[in-house]
Chain A
Amino acid sequence: NAGVTQTPKFRVLKTGQSMTLLCAQDMNHEYMYWYRQDPGMGLRLIHYSVGEGTTAKGEVPDGYNVSRLKKQNFLLGLESAAPSQTSVYFCASSHSDGGYTFGSGTRLTVV
């Protein structure tokens, strides 16, 4: 099925560990985004990409890195996880027509 796929769906990390979240889309969208959702805060933009090989910082980029080596994939990395990064992470992609497609989310707990 066409859409945005996020892996993993759940993960528990210890403080200081690293991990990578994968986002894959099969709609040939140019733009991709990583958001985090925290209670009472809505969704906040972490990083985004306007095309293969390009990335940029969003509203809350600290502690995260991203890469977009292939158009269909957008990776979010945590080099040294902190409890403050416990959150639900959503990936999204969009085309210039303004439609956005969201993944189902990754629930990350840092202990």
Chain B
Amino acid sequence: AQSVTQPDIHITVSEGASLELRCNYSYGATPYLFWYVQSPGQGLQLLLKYFSGDTLVQGIKGFEAEFKRSQSSFNLRKPSVHWSDAAEYFCAVGGGGGADGLTFGKGTHLIIQP
């Protein structure tokens, strides 16, 4: 069965500092990997996705993620966070649609200190 672990429930970062959110997955085939962001009371916004090819993926809002097959990880990074980045971040894994759907981690709540 597929699963996603986001080890950090909460992370606090100072504005302007770098950020790394961790994601480990378990999936029986080649995974499709996603990072979503959710502001309070809002829906999910796709930050980036990895299907194949270059293992370093660029996304919106200055985010990037690196797929490491040997470590079953897909960590999200940003070199300098802004106060507007405060939100809930979800990592998800799945296949190419169909019965797999997406399996989500429980999320990491990002707090930005001024």
Contacts and interface: CB of A to CB of B under 8 A. Distances in A.
Nearest to B96: A98
Contacts of A58: 101
Interface residues of A, number: 28
Interface string A7-25: 0000000000000000000
A98 B106 contact: no
B20 to A, nearest CB: 19
B97 A92 contact: no
B101 A33 contact: yes
Residue in B9, B94, B101, B103 with the greatest tally of chain A CB atoms within 10 Å: B101
Contacts of A87: none
B98 A50 contact: yes
A43 B104 contact: yes
Contact of B43 (A45, A95, A97, A102): A102
B104 A98 contact: no
A97 B49 CA distance: 12
Contact of B97 (A31, A90, A102): A31
Interface in A86-111: 90, 92, 94-100, 102-105
A96 B96 contact: yes
Interface string B98-114: 11011111110000000
27 contacts: A30-B98, A31-B98, A31-B101, A33-B101, A40-B9, A40-B107, A41-B106, A42-B4, A42-B104, A42-B105, A42-B106, A43-B44, A43-B90, A48-B99, A50-B99, A90-B43, A92-B102, A94-B98, A94-B101, A95-B97, A96-B96, A96-B97, A97-B97, A98-B96, A100-B102, A102-B43, A103-B43
- List the 7 closest A-B pairs by CB distance, nearest first: A94-B97, A42-B104, A98-B96, A104-B43, A42-B106, A43-B104, A31-B97
Interface of B: 4, 9, 32, 34, 42-44, 46, 49, 51, 90, 92, 94-99, 101-107
